Amino acid sequence: MRLLKIVPDHTNIDFVSLRSWAFGLTLLLSVLAVGLTAVKGLNFGVDFVGGLMIEEKFPTPPDQDKVRTIVDNLGVGQASLQQQGGPQTLIIRLPVQSGADEGATNAVVKKVEAALGQAFPGATFSRYSTVSGKVSGELIRHGVLAVVLAVLGIGLFAIVRFEWQFGVSTIVAIVHDLLMTIGFFALSGFEFDLNIIAAVLTIIGYSINDKIVIDDRIRENMRRYRKMEMREIINLSVNETLPRTVMTSVTILLALVAMLLLGGHVLRGFTAAMILGIVVGTYSSIYVSSSLLITLGLRAEPEGIDKPRRGGGMDNAERVAPRER
């Protein structure tokens, strides 16, 4: 049986020479993402802004204007509507109720329920949640803290296990991935809720995974080919690990696309974020973080430290690098 090879043997793409283009593109996209987020803002879920979210399921697709009028007439604040999953399901969001005690929010849920039930017989809620303003502030703080700590923790790990340049380039690449993801949420208007923080942390984890694999190979090749130019080492390493990078990305994407299409609407934003994160993370591993190592001045032989050669008995001469066909 002939086996599938996504990346042909002896692939040799000069990634490093593309880096000025890649840096430019990366910078441009990052600026765009930041600008877009600043202008359009994120569609924060109740987790983060506080307030009330009711998901109502109607027996037939409802007239949204009618729903809006009914809810607005209850005098509980401006309702924002959003279709979810199918035309029969609407998400109704209301701001934090003034008066702020729990009785107020509960009363609103009941009121909305009753009014909609009357206007649309057979309509039922499928879920609702209320979050007080205080808690939502905490959730934001914790969410941001989790992301920052994860980035720092992983960066620190890379610095301890490798050289400082690896840590820095990794953190830069992660920040890039984060900006892209946030920009995507600003652009798409998907709800940004607590689940998305989990997705973002996963993206960080995955993207790092990718970078560590390449970094690991660069380190290995630095020890193996001590006289080789840094840019050659990086090209060689990225190419050597390319089959794995592509293979893994494709498998995870397969799993996530299945999730996106079949996993139900509750997780749609979550999986969309992860899919984007994996594409962006793969890109940044190949083009951003490894090339950045040259810019940061990584040398094959750091002064003063003579690292022991790996794999005693396996001399370079014995090895046949794939480039020397």
Partner 1 sequence: MLDFPRWKVVSIWTLLAVLCALAIPTFLPESTTANWPFHPRVNKGLDLAGGSYLMLEADTQDLANTRIEALREQIQGSMRNGTPRILIGDISTRNNQISFMLRDPSQVDAARERLLGITGGGAGMTGQREWDIQVVDSSRFVLTPTQAGLTQAVKTAMEDATDVVRRRIDELGTREPTIVRQGDNRILVQVPGLQNPQALKDLLGKTARLEFKLVDTTANPADVVKGIAPIGSQVLPYPGNPAGPPFIAVKRSVIISGDQLADSRQAFDQQTNQPNVQITFNAIGGNRFARVTQQNTGKPFAMIVDNKVISAPNINEPILGGNAVINGGFTVESANQLAIALRSGKLPVALKVIEESTVGPDLGADSIRAGILASAVAVALVVAFMFVTYGRFGLYANLAVVINVFVILGVLALLKGTLTLPGIAGFVLTIGTAVDANVLINERIREERRRGRSVVQAVELGYKEASRTIFEANMTHAISGVIMFILGSGPVKGFAVVLLIGIVTSVFTAVTFTRMLVAQWIRREKPKTINI
Residue ranges in 76-105 that form contacts with partner 1 under rule CB under 8 A:
101-103, 105
Residue 9 interacts with partner 1 (CB under 8 A): yes or no: yes
Pick out residues in 215-244 that bind partner 1 (CB under 8 A). 216-217, 220, 240-241, 243-244
Of 27-35, 74-82, 147-155, 301-309, which segment contacts partner 1 by CB under 8 A?
147-155
Rule CB under 8 A: which of 39-58 touch partner 1?
55, 57
- How far apart, in whole angstroms, are the C-alpha atoms of residue 175 and residue 177? 5
Applying CB under 8 A, the site for partner 1 has a residue count of 80
Question: Nearest Cα to 308, choosing from 217, 222, 213?
Answer: 222
Nearest-approach distance from CB 98 to partner 1, in angstroms: 16
CB of 142 to partner 1, least distance (A): 5
Q: Is 12 in the site for partner 1 (CB under 8 A)?
A: no
**Phi, psi torsion values for 237, nearest 5 degrees:** -65, -45
Rg (CA), the chain: 25
Binding to partner 1, residues 271-300 (CB under 8 A): 271, 274
Give the integer Cα–Cα distance in Å for 201 and 203: 5
Binding to partner 1, residues 242-271 (CB under 8 A)? 243-244, 247-248, 250-252, 254-256, 258-259, 261-264, 266-267, 270-271
Least CB distance to partner 1 at residue 32 (A): 26
CB of 38 to partner 1, least distance (A): 26
Smaller CB separation from partner 1, 95 or 243: 243
Q: Shortest approach of partner 1 to residue 269 CB, angstroms? A: 11
Q: Are 186 and 33 in contact (CB under 8 A)?
A: yes
Is residue 132 near partner 1 by the rule CB under 8 A? yes
Give the closest residue to 211 by CA, choosing from 261, 179, 184, 177.
177
In the complex, what is the shortest distance from the CB of residue 129 to partner 1, in angstroms, rounded to a whole number? 3
Length of the chain in terms of residues written: 325
Contact 49, 135 (CB under 8 A): no
Contact call for residues 128 and 54 (beta carbons, < 8 A): yes
The reply to whether 307 sits near partner 1 by the rule CB under 8 A is no
315 contacts partner 1 (rule: CB under 8 A): no
* Distance, CA of 282 to CA of 191 (rounded, Å): 24
* d(C-alpha 94, C-alpha 99), whole Å: 14
Of 26, 43, 130, 285, the residue at the interface with partner 1 (CB under 8 A) is 130
Contacts of 18 (CB under 8 A, 6+ apart): 287
Question: What distance in Å separates the CA atoms of residue 158 and residue 201, rounded to the nearest whole number?
Answer: 17
Residue 25 found at the interface with partner 1 (CB under 8 A): no
Provide, rounded to whole angstroms, the least separation between the CB of residue 274 and partner 1.
7
Q: For residues 33 and 278, give the distance between their C-alpha atoms in angstroms, rounded to a whole number.
A: 17
How many C-alpha atoms does 149 have within 13 Å on its Cβ side? Answer: 7
CA gap 143, 49 in Å, rounded = 13
Site for partner 1 in 178-217 (CB under 8 A): 194-195, 197-199, 201-202, 204-206, 208-209, 212-213, 216-217
Residue from 129, 230, 294, 296 touching partner 1 (CB under 8 A): that is: 129
